[in-house]
Structure 1
Amino acid sequence: MRMLFDADLSVERLIPALSIESGTRITPEDTFVIFDEVQEVPRAMTSLKMFNEAAPEYDVLATGSALGIAMHPGFSFPVGKVSRLKLYPMSFVEFLYACKLLR
């Protein structure tokens, strides 16, 4: 996946590539895109700005267990484009309930 983010970060390129990699058709209506351990691929974090500006219809979540301490030099946090939320251990179902995505 690292190589995917080495090139152009346009959503028009990323969505089809992520669909191929995941084997899942990604549509804004019914797909929740999760970038897990995003600190390992800093340009994936940078791509959040592209999603916010060019394709806000996609729901994208970036997680990282060491996100606050492992950002790489030379890569900036997309300020104003990302909302930070500190979570404590919970199951994915608990997360969905907390976000009111599951009732």
Structure 2
Amino acid sequence: MASTRRRYERWPDEERDRILAESFAPGRTVAQVARDNGVGLGLLHYWRRQARAAGVVEELRLVPVTVVAEAEQASQTAGMELIVRDVTVRIRGAIEADHLRTVLAAIRA
């Protein structure tokens, strides 16, 4: 566990950027990252707001989801359709999480 820093102590840019990137990683909460790195929770939230405002991080947005009734679903081939900006991706059959991450990363680039 990281030691607590003194109030108003400046964080080196590289360390701040590493902690900031860690705070956006899936599976971690902002509170966990702050605690593990000895950063004040309010300061980490401030860094995150700054990164979003500067366009460094793409905002996560909720997307509409349509639930298909089981009878309808049985008649359709299993799959998924993703629409991100002007790109539509249709995936049929079983969907592997790693493959989906690769597709989403390619769309974002």
TM-score by length of 2: 0.31
More helix by share: 2
- Which structure has more relative contact order (CA 8 Å, sep 6+)? It is 1
Output the TM-score relative to the length of structure 1.
0.32
Larger Rg: 2
